[in-house]
Amino acid sequence: MAKRKQLPYMPLMTEAILADEFCDRLTNELFGAYMRLLIWQWHEGSIPCEMERLAHRVRETVEHFTENIWSVLSCKFARRKSGRLFNSKLAAIRLQTLRKIKTRQECGAKGGRPKDIGAPVEETKRLSKTKPKGRIRAFNSNSNSNSNSNSNSNSNSKRGVQGGDWPERIYQAYPVKEGKAKALKSIEKALDAIAKTGRIEPEQWLLGQVQKWAASPRAQPNTKPTTPGPAPWFNQGRYDDDENRWQKTWGDESSPARVRAEVGKYDGV
């Protein structure tokens, strides 16, 4: 058997868990067992199908595990041709994480590549010589450097074209309105991080990404799991995800058939 990829940490999608009706109905015993099995899968790529091994992992007897625990949790695991079990949503997240690690390793082997892969070569070369330390802001034409207008220029530095407050505009464009104070701070951090990549006018670009996300199938109110709040979405850099995946529903993305076709080559099972 090929050596499995070792992933030292597992991302915990807290909002998705809280919004999931299945998890919400689990007792503490069932939820603890469920998390133990998911962590096991994250480490190995899949889990065995033998009840003895599963019961041992969750520290329960085979009889109790089979009758009271697995009878409830089994609906969350699919079976591969090899007989091993896996949770399709976690397998999709694990596959995405492995792809990111592989991409970073390839970039490192090449001596590093610009973060903004989609930028033209000429623009990338030019920006690599003069990378900004902070965010590039667009000022109003009415602001000037006179001492009498210092207060105006300071306020304008936080505002973009058309006199709009960029964090506020971006927040209003996001489909979920909650935790505004934290969301605005997260947007500020995101704008600074985007500016450090050398992207010109990061405010306009981020606003455009949020508008695309808000119009995508995944961000609609009737999707499961529900759309994440603005603060986690910006903190996790989800604005830089593959836009093509936004056009698919969560069910399409993590379906067992799709995951089976790709995940095997990464975990060696």
**Mean pLDDT for back-to-back runs of 10 residues, the chain (269 residues):** 64 85 92 94 92 94 94 92 91 88 81 52 47 44 45 44 71 91 92 86 90 86 73 90 79 55 52
Please report whether residue 242 resides in a domain. no
Question: What pLDDT is recorded for position 264?
Answer: 56
| 107 and 17 inside one domain | yes
Do 184 and 95 belong to one domain? no
Residues 100 and 197 in one domain: no
Q: Tell me: do 141 and 205 sit in the same domain.
A: yes
Its domain, for residue 192, covers 114-236
The reply to whether 124 and 163 lie within a common domain is yes
User: In three state form, how does the secondary structure of 145-209 look?
Assistant: CCHHHHHHHHHHCCECHHHCEHHHHHHHHCCCCCCHHHHHHHHHHHHHHHHHCCCCCHHHHHHHH
Alpha-carbon span 104 to 239, nearest angstrom: 19
Residues 53, 119: one domain? no
149 and 227 together in one domain? yes
- In a domain? residue 193: yes
Domain tally, the chain: 2
- pLDDT reported for residue 216: 87
Identify whether residues 20 and 33 lie together within a single domain: yes
Half-sphere CA count of 218, side-chain side, radius 13 A:
22
Q: Note whether 168 and 267 are same-domain residues.
A: no
Quick check: is 246 in a domain? no
Residue 152: inside a domain: yes
Question: Is residue 241 assigned to a domain?
Answer: no
Same domain, 123 and 203: yes
Q: Is residue 61 located within the same domain as residue 118? A: no
The predicted structure's pLDDT at residue 75: 93
C-alpha 19/C-alpha 23 separation (Å) is 8
Write down the pLDDT at residue 57: 94
Query: Is the CA virtual torsion 208, 212, 213, 215 positive or negative?
Result: positive
Burial class (CB in 10 A: 0-12, 13-18, 19+), 65: buried
| Whether 121 and 201 share a structural domain | yes
Report yes or no on 243 lying in a domain. Answer: no
Residue-level pLDDT at 174: 92
Q: Is residue 245 part of a domain?
A: no
- Whole-model pTM over 0.85: no
Would you say residue 82 lies in a domain?
yes
How confident is the model at residue 269, as a pLDDT? 45
